[in-house]
Structure 1
Amino acid sequence: MSASYPPALPRHIVEATVRRAFEEDLGQAGDITSQATIAPGATAVARINAREGGVVCGLDCAKMAFSLIGPGLEVQAYVSDGTTIEAGTDVLEVRGNARMLLAAERTALNFMTHLSGISTLTSRFVAETEGTDAHICCTRKTTPGLRALEKYAVKCGGGHNHRFGLDDAILIKDNHIAVAGGVAAAIAAARAFAGHLVAIEVEVDTLEQLEEALAAGADAVLLDNMDEPTLTRAVAITAGRAKLEASGNVTLERIAAIARTGIDYISTSRITMAATPLDLGLDIAIS
């Protein structure tokens, strides 16, 4: 069995994203509430605590926020990203200058609650596919500017990443097919253009289009908005000649049935766009 390593976020992405969040939240004057009410040298200890159970994600963003806000804050994480926790679990502790701690609080929590929500919902989708070979994948439907973080959160929840952008794989969709003149013509043009490391996937709406895509040599085929009997027939027709991805109207209630058709991948925007933030809070423990 090959090693399975945990997902990782590049530091430069985390730092740049947190800096943008600070520019938005702190403006030009900083946290004037803390400046008005707390002595410059006051110190505090605070903990981020889970008020509901879920899968933790975003610790690197929280730690970066407490690091960038100023010198002297000490941060200790009690869990790691991807950990399933129960309500009441302490996730992270931070101690040091109270003004800096409170100025970074909301930015740290915003990242953690949002990303943990995505990881938690993803884990629920993944659990529904247990016993099958189907992989749950995210899509390009992500919050602008947060795609790398949200796709990382999907992986922390046990899911897989689809392409990150328009530049890392070719996905021929219905509008491309309409302009290119058909499935076969679009695939042939893509094959002539693409380098040998670029995968070519095509979206189809019917089993007839699937046959055409297979004959044209597509590496993967996205089966759009097909019901379970049609997906089962698509798997039989393909017989391993290409990877098959199901997409469209993928819900928690339906995901298990889709997975049992024998499909390779199931992609859904729900895990990134419909995830409810996980309820995490920061409270002063000692002052």
Structure 2
Amino acid sequence: MAALNPHVPSDPVELPFRDLLPPTLPKLINEWLAEDIPSYDPAGAVVGSAPKTAFLLGKADGVLAGVPFFDEVFKQLGCQVEWHLKEGEGFKKVKHVATVVGPAKALLQGERTALNTLARCSGIATKSRRFRDIAAASGFKGTIAGTRKTTPGFRIVEKYGMLIGGIDPHRHDLSSMVMLKDNHIWSHGSITNAIKLCRSMISFATLIEVEVQNEQEADEAIEAGADIVLLDNMGGSLLGEVVTRLKQRWAGKKFLIEVSGGIDDSNLRERLVDGVDILSTSAVHQSVQHIDFSLKVQR
């Protein structure tokens, strides 16, 4: 079975990721603005509605991501954005990234919402790009993926940042794929029984992934028909040995091997093992360093 995303894009700028976003995006942005401006805006009244121009400046090296969210914030406030970089393009500190034109109060009303979103999305894209490049330089032929450990209410932005960075966003929600973890197995009694029950309830188009703690559990999951076996918190030479044995022993079966658990910059390379189809990590989005931007209204 081929990897879920075997061909990592070399240039995510060329791909129409903006078109992936749902038609409910304006509603989401409207909710963000309502949260930040729930009532009167005295500071906005001070600056008034005279037309002004603001420069968006990138204050650290990074990869630009989150353009559609930024655009929609200012569209709802009656402003126009002109980008000087393509989304997915890297930039150096201090870079004039975009120009925003509109009423003075509107520029400042949208500033924080737009910058917060752009900063986090770009931070995730930057870290994702770094992991992707390390994997490519190491000769890794599998897929680098994020995880579902995202911020409630902000998942669409964080998954979007992974895509722009050039990695796989993994499943988006509990309905995207069946993942049987240790708690599911313990609650139901066995890996085999849990897989059998799931198969009776899902579509042929739905994959089943099983998290296993050791080689014996992996054997049971593969024999029971798991599409993906997740080797959790397994590293070092043991990982390579287990992966090799599983691929040899079950050569006639179609399944993928995923590795995950505590993967970060310090141990990424040792987990890029031949035979691993997917390496998933939350390091590309949890506690990730944001890329600092500022919006400067011109006098």
Whether the 8 Å contact between 1:44 and 1:284 is mirrored in structure 2 is: yes
| Deviations 1:67-95 (CA, angstroms, capped at 9, x unpaired) | 112x3x22111122211111122211111
Residues 175-229 of structure 1 show CA distances to partners (whole Å, capped at 9, x for unaligned) of: 1111111111111111222210000110000001011111111110011001132
Unaligned runs of 5+ in 1: none
The equivalent of 1:86 in structure 2 is 92
Q: Distance in 2 between matches of 1:104 and 1:11?
A: 21
- Structure 2, unmatched stretches of 5+, are 1-6, 10-14
Which secondary structure does the structure 2 equivalent of 1:202 belong to? Answer: strand
SS in 1 for 2:27: helix
CA distance in 1, matches of 2:108, 2:70: 12
Does the aligned pair in 2 maintain the 1:52–1:279 contact within 8 Å?
yes
C-alpha distance in structure 2 between counterparts of 1:16 and 1:233, whole Å = 50
TM-aligned CA deviation for residue 133 of structure 1: 1.0
Q: Which residue of 2 aligns with 1:7?
A: 17
Structure-2 separation of matches of 1:39 and 1:217: 64
Aligned to 1:174: 182
Aligned residues between the structures: 281
User: Separation in 2 of the partners of 1:195 and 1:116?
Assistant: 36
Equivalent-residue separation in structure 2 for 1:25 and 1:49 (angstroms): 22
Report the Cα distance in structure 1 between the residues aligned to 2:228 and 2:296, rounded to whole angstroms. Answer: 49
By how many angstroms is 1:230 displaced?
Answer: 2.3
**Residue aligned with 2:93, SS:** coil
Alignment partner, residue 38 of structure 1:
47
Identity %: 31
RMSD between superposed Cα atoms in Å: 1.9
Three-state SS of the structure 2 residue aligned to 1:75 is strand
Q: What's the offset of the Cα at 1:3?
A: 11
Consecutive aligned runs of 4 or more in structure 1 exceeding 2 Å deviation: 2-9, 11-14
User: Partners in 1 of 2:168 and 2:114 — Cα distance?
Assistant: 25
Match of 1:106 among 112, 117, 132: 112
With normalisation by structure 1, the TM-score equals 0.92
- State the distance in 2 between where 1:7 and 1:140 align: 19
The one-letter amino acid of 2:35's match is: E
Superposed displacement of residue 155, structure 1: 0.8
Is 1:227 matched up with 2:238?
no
In 1: Cα distance, 2:124 partner to 2:116 partner? 13
Cα separation, 2, equivalents of 1:11 and 1:78: 25
Report the equivalent of 1:26. Answer: 37
Q: TM-score, normalised by structure 2?
A: 0.89
Contact 1:122 1:158 in 2 (8 A): yes
Amino acid at match of 1:39: G
Deviations 1:95-151 (A, max 9, x none): 121111111111110110011111111111112211211221111111111112211
Equivalent residue letter for 1:132: F
1:204 to 203, 208, 212: 212
